[in-house]
Structure 1
Amino acid sequence: MASKEQTIVLITGANGGIGFELTAQLLHDSKYLILLGSRSLEKGEAAVKLLQERGLPGKVQVLQIDVNSEASITNAQKVVEEKYSRLDALINNAAITSEEPTSASLSSRMTAAFQTNVTGPTVVVETFAPLLEKSGRMGKTPRIINVTSGAGSIGWRSDRTNPHQEMKALPYRTSKAALNMLTACQDYEYGPKGWKVFCFCPGFTESNLGPMNKVEHGAKPTSEGAKPMVAILEGKRDEEHGGYLKADGCWPW
């Protein structure tokens, strides 16, 4: 059972990339207990070991969760309920571009992108909502961050002068646009309860999303992409809840 003073945060897809970096940054504060979500238990345990070796004051535990499996999500919720009884914040970070393999049909790539990037976060929030509700009843402010992308901006896509117009990535763009709508729906549902729901774009950042997400191609360090989410979790952007956020403002929907 966690104390009320602790802030319990679940981050999906956190065994690498921006999820791992966000975990590391939060662990600099002893109040955080991070549930490092990982589809692979082995990779999750390895990530937790690396973080624990840094001797940071916060606490981290691995939580096996596959956002493409309702059974896995349900099991993860039961584990959290039994061990901690509540959840204070949820970061839907797990995602795919669905651009690989290129031999796959468009239909299969679209289906895969929407399953991981939209259906997964929808079911995760729905399943963990009772634990977030418990956090709210304790006088805390439950927060949800759906990690999105500027590639999901319809306004941005409609601007033919935008330098990123040549980026096609149809499965990724459309699924992230749908994730943005999901955020608006979740904010409409949970906002009246005092919850703060956001979609946040970390920008073009180093990650395992694809071969182009590397420093040599202009990707910024994961530390820069993760840092603004720490501020969101600290309540510093609560007045922007329901918004399509980036580090220095908002994207056009």
Structure 2
Amino acid sequence: MAARRIILVTGANSGIGYDTSYAAAAASPSNHVIMGCRSLAKGAKALEELQARKPAGTLSLLELDVTNDSTIKAAVDKISADFGVLDALVNNAGIYIRDAQDRRSEILDTLNTNTVGPLVLTEALLPLLRKSKDPRIINVSSALGSITDRFDASLSYHGLPAEAYRMSKAALNMATACMHTAYAPWGARVWAFCPGYVVTNLSGEADRQLRRERGADSAETSAAAILEILDGKRDGEAGSFVRRNGQRFLW
């Protein structure tokens, strides 16, 4: 029997994190997915729903707020005690602030969740990732974080300002490049991944219907693409900014 593979997905109670948790758990009886959720109540509901679908693998719940160092430490201690290793980390948790109270807090809060949080969490988990025979880190980024694409007026999203979100994802891309450079020597593979325009709660529950009307795909398409990375189908693109359907973005 294959050794159990331990996968942590942050922001797992809805959207891309939710669908990724199920896709990874359903893919193999050897997979155990830890659903990292800021809200235990929402996380418990999501866990119950996914377990009811009877995936081949297993799932568990972990309280984790990537902006809160005490929950990060507690999460690392819990994973260490329960599993002693981490094979894959999907840094999915993120925010897009609408109707910000002021500009400075909008930018700082967005950077804290979308960039600083994933980097601090990843660094805290390094001792566990180093124990894996095949460590993988996937940072969920966005096309909006591509500096190259920001200058392309032909793109459908060119007119969307979203400065705070764009800056946070561009910075996450740099964090990805730094992780790849630092971790590749001991065997870790790192990617920045754009999930595409999909139906999620990223910009609020009220925006879900608008996304559908604009032709957004199901978050299950993003989950399927993340699973391809987890399963080794894009190993040749480690250290890159990848997207669905085997494509890439320029940084």
- TM-score higher than 0.5 here? yes
Counterpart of 1:85? 84
Structure 2 residue corresponding to 1:177, chosen from 154, 170, 176: 170
Counterpart of 1:145? 138
Counterpart of 1:110? 107
For residues 171 and 182 of structure 1, what CA distance do their matches in structure 2 show? 16
Deviation at 1:4, TM superposition (A): 6.9
User: 2:149 matched to 1:156?
Assistant: yes
Distance change in 2, residues 1:103/1:130 (3 Å) = closer
Letter of the structure 2 residue corresponding to residue 89 of structure 1: A
For residues 222 and 54 of structure 2, what CA distance do their matches in structure 1 show? 23
Report the 3-state secondary structure (helix = DSSP H, G, I; strand = E; otherwise coil) of the residue aligned with 1:218: coil
Deviation at 1:103, TM superposition (A): 4.6
Cα RMSD (Å) of the superposition?
Answer: 1.2
Structure 1 residue corresponding to 2:14, chosen from 16, 37, 49: 16
User: 2:72 matched to 1:73?
Assistant: yes
Deviation at 1:163, TM superposition (A): 2.4
Counterpart of 1:252? 250
For residues 163 and 207 of structure 2, what CA distance do their matches in structure 1 show? 16
Structure 2 residue corresponding to 1:226, chosen from 205, 223, 233: 223
For residues 13 and 4 of structure 1, what CA distance do their matches in structure 2 show? 28
Structure 2 residue corresponding to 1:240, chosen from 232, 237, 240: 237
Q: Is the 8 A contact 2:88 2:129 kept in 1?
A: yes
For residues 40 and 23 of structure 2, what CA distance do their matches in structure 1 show? 22
Identity %: 38
User: 2:126 matched to 1:133?
Assistant: no
Count how many residue pairs are aligned between Structure 1 and Structure 2.
245
Report the 3-state secondary structure (helix = DSSP H, G, I; strand = E; otherwise coil) of the residue aligned with 2:200: coil
Counterpart of 1:190? 183
Report the 3-state secondary structure (helix = DSSP H, G, I; strand = E; otherwise coil) of the residue aligned with 2:118: helix
Deviation at 1:80, TM superposition (A): 0.4
Deviation at 1:147, TM superposition (A): 0.2
Letter of the structure 2 residue corresponding to residue 226 of structure 1: A
For residues 51 and 17 of structure 1, what CA distance do their matches in structure 2 show? 13
- TM alignment of 1:118-129, pairs within 5 A: 118-129=115-126
TM-score (norm 1): 0.94
Q: Is the 8 A contact 2:100 2:106 kept in 1?
A: no
Report the 3-state secondary structure (helix = DSSP H, G, I; strand = E; otherwise coil) of the residue aligned with 2:201: coil
Q: Which moved more, 1:203-212 or 1:64-73?
A: 203-212
Q: Is the 8 A contact 2:35 2:43 kept in 1?
A: yes
For residues 128 and 4 of structure 1, what CA distance do their matches in structure 2 show? 23
Letter of the structure 2 residue corresponding to residue 17 of structure 1: G
Counterpart of 2:53? 54
Letter of the structure 2 residue corresponding to residue 12 of structure 1: T
For residues 27 and 97 of structure 1, what CA distance do their matches in structure 2 show? 27
Report the 3-state secondary structure (helix = DSSP H, G, I; strand = E; otherwise coil) of the residue aligned with 1:185: helix
Deviation at 1:160, TM superposition (A): 2.0
Question: 5+ unaligned residues in a row in structure 2: which ranges?
Answer: none
Letter of the structure 2 residue corresponding to residue 197 of structure 1: V
Deviation at 1:161, TM superposition (A): 2.3
